[in-house]
Amino acid sequence: MSQPERGVSWRQIAVPAYGPTILVSIGQGATLPLVALSARDLGASVGVAAFVVALIGIGQLVGDLPAGALAARIGEQKALVGACAVDALALVGAFLAHSLWVLALAIFVTGLAGAVFSLARQAYLTETVPMRMRARALSTLGGTFRVGLFIGPFIGAALVAGRGVGTAYAFAAAMSLSAALLTAFLPDVTRTQRRARAGTGEAHATVLSVLRQHRRTLLTLGTGVLVISAARATRQTIVPLWAASQGLSPSTVSLVYGVSAGVDMLLFYPGGAIMDRYGRVFVAVPSMLVLGLGFLLLPLTHVTPAIAAVAGLMGLGNGISAGVVMTLGADAAPAESRTQFLGGWRLCADVGNATGPLVVSAVSAVAPLAAAAVTMGLLTWTGVAWLARWIPRRPAGTG
């Protein structure tokens, strides 16, 4: 990726695009496997613990449309700095929490901050990278999250083993604060394009007017990304819960999660290359077939090696699709109102992020956790046909 269009060099955008992302994702990797366990330590049932995890997705869901409006008004850089600062404060709250309600509120606020963070990163790369390598660039963005999610659980395991679960939240807060400081001192290479759009008045179109204009895309292709996001979010919830239900210790749960993340991070660039060369559908459909298979196999595992093997299989399916949701959104987004559209696009994805763990919570409240895994496996496979119907067969901009 030597020279993107619009005169912006790859070297200029690499650190602003990927530096804050890897810092924040390391912190997320340290805490994600432990949120359900923290809730359980504070007295939550399995169903309530799954709901607390789901609050991450619910917070993102609530924050998506305001994030699009905010980024359109103040720009991606300022939005990102603010999101990282708020995330750091929320994680400190989770570290200090001695009540389930305080923990739940802190987790919800991290979701709000995550909505702004994710939208700002996606809009930044969509603006600066040429279409012919869009999937690779956005898959690399997804890959940096996965690198962080690989490193983070091992750091989390060490912190948990030595000083308790709460220290992982303090570490994550430090990572988010570092990302805010890094972003604040980097040049804003999208300022010229943003000022040009502001001069025409296009950047000030309301989010709702943009969503009305593009409602067909959001209802068809957007439903497909809901399926993808639901499967991904459920994997993050159900693997730690299943491992804990089989008697694994918190540190072992973190290690299992880290193994899955290690497989996950190996395939983001090949997935992007396939999408750029052959089309988005050739990554989206196979990845969901593999994730669905993982859900169906998980209830058959009862010892650490077997659980780790299925978690690795699910990481394989998740990793190759690292950038598919962002790439499809970038393809569909109108240049004149990109951030507003992406707010709606991320809303579709985050409905899935919230729905997946909520399905686990609802099913596990009335049936064994294994039934929740099977339910999600079948739902994921059902969604494959929808994805095959609506995702374009060729990369955007090609014949």
Contact predicate 259/319, CB 8 Å: no
User: What integer is the mean pLDDT of 355-378?
Assistant: 88
CATH of 13-390, one of 1.20.1250.20, 3.30.499.10, 3.40.47.10, 3.30.365.10: 1.20.1250.20
- Looking at the predicted structure, is the pLDDT value of residue 170 above 80? yes
What does the pLDDT read at residue 227?
Answer: 87
pLDDT attached to residue 399: 40
Identify the pLDDT of residue 27. 94
Q: What confidence tens digit (pLDDT) does each residue in 83-111 have?
A: 999 999 999 999 998 899 999 999 999 99
Structure confidence at residue 1 (pLDDT): 40
Which stretch of 54-63, 157-166, 205-214, 309-318 has the lowest confidence by average pLDDT? 157-166
Band of pLDDT at residue 2, cut at 50, 70 and 90: very low
Number of neighbours of residue 170 by Cβ within 10 angstroms: 18
**Tokens representing 71?**
């980024």
> pLDDT-derived band of residue 204, with 50, 70 and 90 as boundaries?
low
Amino acid letter for position 182: L
Token reading at 135: 């999937």
Residue (of 70, 311, 299, 88) closest to 203 by Cα position: 70
Which distant-in-sequence residues (6+ apart) come within 8 Å of 255 by Cβ? 153, 154, 157
Q: How confident is the model at residue 3 (pLDDT cuts 50, 70, 90)?
A: very low
> ∠ CA 1-276-355 to the nearest 5 degrees?
110
Give the separation between CA 247 and CA 241, rounded to whole angstroms.
Answer: 10
Mean pLDDT of the chain: 84
Q: What share of the chain is helix, strand, coil (3-state, %, to 5)?
A: 85, 0, 15
- CA–CA distance, 329 with 314 (Å, rounded to integer): 24
> What mean pLDDT comes out for the span 49-54?
85
pLDDT of residue 332: 86
pLDDT value for 197: 54
In the structure encoding, which two tokens stand for residue 243, read together?
Answer: 């491992």
Q: Is the pLDDT of residue 181 over 50?
A: yes
Residue 98 CA to residue 152 CA, distance in Å, equals 24
The per-residue DSSP string of 283-336 comes to: HHHHHHHHHHHHHHHGGG--SHHHHHHHHHHHHHHHHHTTTHHHHHHHHHS-GG
Per-residue pLDDT averaged across 129-144, rounded?
Answer: 86
| Residue 5 banded pLDDT, cuts 50, 70, 90 | very low
d(CA 39, CA 102): 10
Give 227-265 pLDDT, tens digit per residue. 898 998 888 788 888 888 888 887 788 788 778 877 877
Q: What is the mean pLDDT of residues 43-64?
A: 86
Q: Rounded mean pLDDT of 14-27?
A: 88
Mean pLDDT of 119-129: 84
Phi first, then psi: what are they for 5, rounded to 5°? -70, 175
pLDDT in tens, 302-346: 888 899 999 989 988 988 888 899 999 988 888 778 888 999 998
**Which two three-digit tokens encode residue 118?**
């994710």
- Give the pLDDT score at 365: 83
Q: What is the C-alpha R_g of the chain?
A: 20
State the burial class of residue 317 (Cβ atoms within 10 Å of its Cβ: 0-12, 13-18, 19+): buried
pLDDT at position 10 is 63
Cα(362)–Cα(9) distance, integer angstroms: 48
Query: What does the pLDDT average to over 26-40?
Result: 89
Rounded to whole angstroms, the Cα distance separating 295 from 236 reads 11
Minimum mean pLDDT range among 177-186, 241-250, 287-296: 241-250
pLDDT at 196: 54
Give the count of beta carbons closer than 10 Å to the beta carbon of residue 279: 18
Lowest-pLDDT choice from 8-22, 215-229, 259-273: 8-22
Specify the pLDDT at position 398.
Answer: 47
pLDDT above 80 (res 269): yes
Q: What distance in Å separates the CA atoms of residue 144 and residue 245, rounded to the nearest whole number?
A: 30
Structure tokens at 335: 């240049």
